[in-house]
Structure 1
């Protein structure tokens, strides 16, 4: 019932914004997977959840996530049918925010990286758009041209073949994943069965 109510509210928001789902009377089960996915994440607006790294291959010599408290916080929900902002806190490091937004053809994922003073990192607002419909539980984001140019400019050659993914299984887990050819895989999963204490705002978004 809660998921149906959340989806109905987002459908109203989409129609009010002029987007199309084939009409607000369209059943949730026939809506675009991108809209259902976004609605499923938006159910958790205002809540935070603890996570753990379940894959980090090949292992790094200096792992920035090791022994750190990992928390995602679904905030930035002013237009939940169009955009969600999800800070990813790594211990006291509040530099990372995932920006998940609706496009005409699917979803877009961008990474907003800030310094403690709120200024933008030189590697920020990178990511990609979905290239297929995905599903209500998983969406993949191959790196876009702008991000490739950014990575090349900053000497991050390995990242030019990145593919990011997000998964949500309501009432169970939310996952963020990075893969690239050659065996690189990073995945962190957050436990949606129990909310945790809300963290401070991410840097630059007080």
Structure 2
């Protein structure tokens, strides 16, 4: 082989080696890019915050502040001999709405003695029943209820009877009530449900149509003007 041919052959081999080296480097670089995790500049704190169920539930009721709705008894089992709710108009009125408390009078005909009181607590929500006489003085059986046993949902919250209420019931001869659990359901613009249940099968449910407001009733007894 001539000197020129040998030089050409050597040059060709050198170029091939360089090309192979470049290809290998490119393949390695692409492999590294494919295996490396994608970097995100998004801060996790930028994600929209999830509203806690008790807060969403409270807000859903508060959205109806100032409005009143007619109700109907959907369950009253076993049927009592003399139900105070039979054949009487039932109206709930979302009357007072603070940041941490909502007061909802429940009118049964001309009886304006009942007000449901929903309150925020450090752990969730609390339901109490404020019962008054016609002159506004507290009934012997009043301020009973309990705290929500769990976070519940944005639609339903349950409130087992608390120890103070048990003492009140026993002091007033209402032993059956010491196992009460109350519940409230709210489906915005559809329905509001108040419920009382017991393990012995007692179930009372009254449902209010949120799609049809009614004129606001007078103030509850003891509730001012």
Same fold (TM over 0.5): yes
- With the shorter chain as reference, the TM-score category is 0.7 to 0.9
**Structure 1 residue 99: deviation in Å?**
0.2
Count of equivalent residues = 179
Give the 3-state SS of the residue equivalent to 2:214 in structure 1: coil
Does residue 121 (structure 1) correspond to residue 129 (structure 2)? The answer is no
Tell me the alpha carbon deviations over residues 111-131 of structure 1, each in whole angstroms, 9 at most, x when there is no partner. 000000000000000000011
The correspondence of residues 1-206 of structure 1 with structure 2, limited to 5 A, is 27=48, 30-77=50-97, 79=98, 81-206=99-224
**Cα separation, 2, equivalents of 1:132 and 1:46:** 28
**Structure 1 residue 26: deviation in Å?**
8.0
Which structure has greater helix proportion?
2
Tell me the alpha carbon deviations over residues 129-163 of structure 1, each in whole angstroms, 9 at most, x when there is no partner. 01111000000000000000110111100000000
**Cα separation, 2, equivalents of 1:93 and 1:137:** 28
**Structure 1 residue 187: deviation in Å?**
0.3
Unaligned runs of 5+ in 2: 1-45
Tell me the alpha carbon deviations over residues 5-24 of structure 1, each in whole angstroms, 9 at most, x when there is no partner. xxxxxxxxxxxxxxxxxxxx
Query: How well do the aligned residues superpose, as a CA RMSD in angstroms?
Result: 1.2
**Cα separation, 2, equivalents of 1:82 and 1:142:** 20
**Structure 1 residue 35: deviation in Å?**
0.4
Give the 3-state SS of the residue equivalent to 1:195 in structure 2: strand
Which entry has the higher C-alpha Rg, 1 or 2?
2
When residues 69 and 103 of structure 1 are mapped into structure 2, their CA distance, relative to the original with a 3 A threshold, is: same
**Structure 1 residue 31: deviation in Å?**
1.3
**Cα separation, 2, equivalents of 1:107 and 1:26:** 26
**Structure 1 residue 69: deviation in Å?**
0.3
| TM-score, normalised with respect to structure 2 | 0.78
**Structure 1 residue 105: deviation in Å?**
0.5
**Cα separation, 2, equivalents of 1:196 and 1:188:** 16
| TM-score, normalised with respect to structure 1 | 0.85
